[in-house]
Amino acid sequence: MRARASKLPSLSQVLALSACTGAHAIYERQPERYGSSKTNSGPTYLNLRPIRLPGGSVVPAKSTGRVLSGDGADHIVVCWQHEHSGWKLILEVLTDYVNRKRLDYGSGGTYWDVSFGRRGSAQTITLQIGDIGMERDNHGDEDMITDVLDFVRSVVRDHPQQAAELMFSLEEGEPVVAHTMTESQPPDLVQLTTMILEEALSRSNGGAKSPSRIKLITSAISVLSALLAIPNYSGRVWIYIHSTTMLFGSDTVHGFASAALTTERATGQYTMTLALLHLVQQFFRAEELCGHNHNHSMMDVQKLDASMGAKERHRAGSGRPGISMAERLRRGMTGE
Interval 149-205: pLDDT, tens = 999 999 988 887 888 888 888 888 888 888 767 667 888 899 999 999 988 888 766
Q: Report the alpha-carbon distance of residue 107 to residue 89 in Å, rounded.
A: 27
Higher per-residue pLDDT: 257 or 220: 220
Enter the pTM of the model.
Answer: 0.75
220 and 250 part of one domain: yes
Average pLDDT, the chain: 75
159 and 273 part of one domain: yes
Supply the Cα-derived Rg of the chain in whole angstroms: 23
140 and 161 part of one domain: yes
Of 3-7, 131-135, 211-215, 287-291, where does the model show the most confidence?
211-215
The residue type found at 173 is G
Does residue 130 lie in a domain region?
no
Does residue 123 lie in a domain region?
no
91 and 170 part of one domain: yes
Does residue 312 lie in a domain region?
yes
Nearest Cα to Cα of residue 166 among 154, 178, 177: 154
- Domain ranges, residue 311: 86-118+135-334
166 and 149 part of one domain: yes
Beta strands at 64-69 and 44-47: parallel, antiparallel or unpaired: antiparallel
